[in-house]
């Protein structure tokens, strides 16, 4: 009995710390938007290639700028979301 309790206390309880409320949802939202924007970037890449091969490369740089902005936005989101929340340490007894 005592043994079982001690095992349970090892696997549950104060050892485990859940993510703060809304954190998972935030990461998932960032991920969903990021994947959507990545699709747009892929589309921009195909347009750039199409324009280049068609010899109409006057405005290709604009596509690269938009793609770069999306990438910078992604970096920013990554930076914000991967910041670890301050651990709520309880004083040890």
Partner 1 sequence: MKSENGISRKGRGVLGRRPRTRWQAEFPYHWDGDEQVSRRELLRFAVMASGTLFAATAGIVILSYLNPLRTVRRQAIASTSEVPRNGAHYFQYPTAEDEAVLLHLPEGRFVAYSSKCTHLSCAVYYDSQRQLLVCPCHEGVFDPRTGAPLAGPPQRSLPSITLSQEGTMVFAEQEMPQ
Residue (5 or 17) nearer to partner 1, CB: 17
**Could you say which of 13, 63, 91, 93 contacts partner 1 (CB under 8 A)?**
63
Interface of this chain with partner 1, residues 30 to 59, rule: CB under 8 A: 30-31, 34-35, 37-38, 41-42, 44-45, 48-49, 51-57
Coil vs helix vs strand at 3: helix
Query: Is the CB of residue 67 less than 8 Å from the CB of residue 43?
Result: no
Q: Give the binding-site size for partner 1 (rule: CB under 8 A).
A: 47
**Rounded Cα gap, residues 19 and 41, in angstroms:** 31
């Amino acid at each position: 009995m005592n043994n079982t309790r001690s095992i349970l206390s090892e696997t549950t309880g104060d050892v485990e710390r859940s993510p703060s409320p809304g954190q998972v949802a935030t990461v998932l939202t960032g991920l969903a938007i990021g994947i959507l924007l990545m699709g747009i970037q892929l589309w921009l890449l195909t347009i750039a290639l199409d324009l280049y091969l068609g010899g109409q490369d006057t405005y290709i740089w604009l596509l690269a700028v938009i793609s770069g902005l999306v990438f910078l936005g992604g970096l920013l989101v990554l930076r914000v979301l991967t910041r670890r929340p301050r651990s709520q340490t309880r004083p040890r007894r």
